[in-house]
């Protein structure tokens, strides 16, 4: 089912968002199964798989040999294996790369195209979900599996929920709700992800940044103790020698422009504009404001002015 059957509403900042259901068409769900799944992912992903509890989900990344990020993802136990959620634009390439060394492992990696990813956020979202589920996750128990349904609780920038549903469960949910909830698409969820500080890696920015350059160390999405995995040598050297020069920021500004992902970001230094980073993602909020996610050099402060190369619109650092 596409969003053509659902009404589309304006994008709201987190502090204003009403009770909203979002169909996450810009994200994909990947399933990893087989008796070697845990061991294989241990050698591929940036987290320690041995520490992943069945009661929690976690951030992590898949990197190449040079320590550059293929994709960022949310990972959790799912059915008899593991599931992870990432941007759809990079999913086919990332799965192909993840499968590359699996020929001697008992493992299957594939996208579940019959699964619906649904976001729920806004006032009374927890109470709303109690109409359809027996129990709702929280910070201590951040994921719950109920029959064929899975619910993730995400705390930032506000409490919100990510539902992993079959087609029949999604139809039941959609047909059972009333007009007290708004419908929206992936852009509203993207806005919340940008506010939360989760790095959005689409195909255009894949293989360009180390995990530390996009704040994955601060999100506890990197293990420096588990041993070897792809990119580990570079990632560890940056960490132990304090070599990281980049930082992920959320910027906010006015306007209705449509720059390309991976465009240059400029900073105003005295009377000159100098290139200082790149654009990862953007979303138009309330048709007046733009929220953008960027990777910049660390040496910036709250008073700096920024713009996207080729545009005059001014952006400021958004304090989250």
pLDDT digits (tens, 9 = 90+) for 223-271: 999 989 999 999 999 999 999 999 999 999 999 899 999 999 999 999 9
> 167-176 — which CB contacts under 8 Å span 24+ positions?
167/1, 167/114, 167/116, 169/116, 170/1, 170/116, 170/118, 171/1, 172/132, 173/21, 173/118, 173/132, 174/1, 174/6, 174/21, 176/131, 176/132
> Of 235, 300, 238, which Cα lies nearest the Cα of 267?
300
Mean pLDDT for 204-232 is: 95
Of 1 and 39, the structure prediction assigns the larger pLDDT to 39
- Please tell me the predicted confidence (pLDDT) of residue 79: 95
C-alpha closest to that of 265 among 280, 251, 277: 277
Compute the half-sphere exposure of residue 145: CA atoms within 13 Å on the CB side of its CA: 13
Q: pLDDT, tens digit, for every residue of 82-107?
A: 999 999 999 999 999 999 989 989 99
Place of tokens 């940056």: 238
Mean per-residue pLDDT over the chain, rounded: 93
**Separation between Cα atoms, residue 312 and residue 315, nearest integer Å:** 10
Q: Which CATH architecture has domain 7-196?
A: 2-Layer Sandwich (3.30)
Decide if 121 contacts 12 (C-beta within 8 A): no
Check residue 8 and give its pLDDT: 64
Binding residue per annotation — 70? no
For residue 299, pLDDT beyond 60? yes
* pLDDT of residue 280 exceeding 90: yes
The domain ranges of the chain are 7-196, 245-320
Q: How confident is the model at residue 46 (pLDDT cuts 50, 70, 90)?
A: very high
Query: With bands split at pLDDT 50, 70 and 90, how would you rate the model's confidence at 130?
Result: very high
pLDDT of res. 9: 77
Q: Which fold has domain 245-320?
A: Elongation Factor Tu (Ef-tu); domain 3 (2.40.30)
């Amino acid at each position: 089912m596409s969003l053509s059957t659902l009404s589309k509403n304006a994008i709201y900042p987190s502090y204003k968002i009403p009770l909203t259901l979002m169909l996450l068409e810009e994200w994909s769900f990947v399933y990893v199964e087989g008796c070697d799944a845990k061991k294989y992912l241990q050698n591929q992903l940036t987290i320690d798989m041995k520490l992943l509890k069945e009661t929690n989900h976690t951030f992590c990344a898949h990197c190449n040999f040079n320590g550059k990020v293929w994709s960022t993802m949310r990972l959790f136990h799912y059915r008899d294996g593991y599931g992870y959620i990432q941007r759809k634009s990079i999913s086919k390439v990332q799965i192909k790369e993840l499968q590359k060394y699996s020929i001697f492992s008992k493992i299957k990696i594939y996208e579940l195209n019959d699964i619906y990813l649904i976001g729920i956020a806004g006032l009374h979202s927890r109470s709303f979900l109690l109409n359809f589920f027996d129990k709702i996750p929280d910070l201590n128990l951040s994921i719950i599996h109920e029959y064929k349904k899975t619910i993730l609780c995400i705390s930032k920038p506000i409490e919100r929920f990510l539902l992993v549903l079959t087609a029949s469960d999604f139809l039941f949910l959609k047909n059972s709700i009333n007009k007290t909830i708004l419908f929206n698409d992936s852009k509203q969820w993207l806005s919340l992800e940008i506010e939360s500080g989760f790095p959005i890696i689409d195909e255009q920015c894949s293989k360009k940044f180390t995990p530390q350059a996009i704040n994955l160390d601060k999100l506890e999405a990197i293990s420096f103790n588990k041993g070897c995995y792809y990119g580990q040598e570079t990632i560890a050297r940056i960490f132990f020698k304090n070599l990281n020069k980049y930082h992920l920021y959320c910027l906010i500004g006015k306007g209705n422009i449509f720059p390309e992902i991976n465009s240059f970001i400029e900073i105003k230094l005295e009377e000159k504009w100098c290139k200082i980073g790149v654009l990862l993602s953007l979303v138009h909020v309330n048709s007046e404001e733009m929220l953008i996610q960027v990777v910049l050099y660390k040496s910036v402060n709250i008073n700096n002015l920024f713009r996207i190369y080729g545009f005059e619109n001014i952006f400021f650092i958004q304090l989250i």
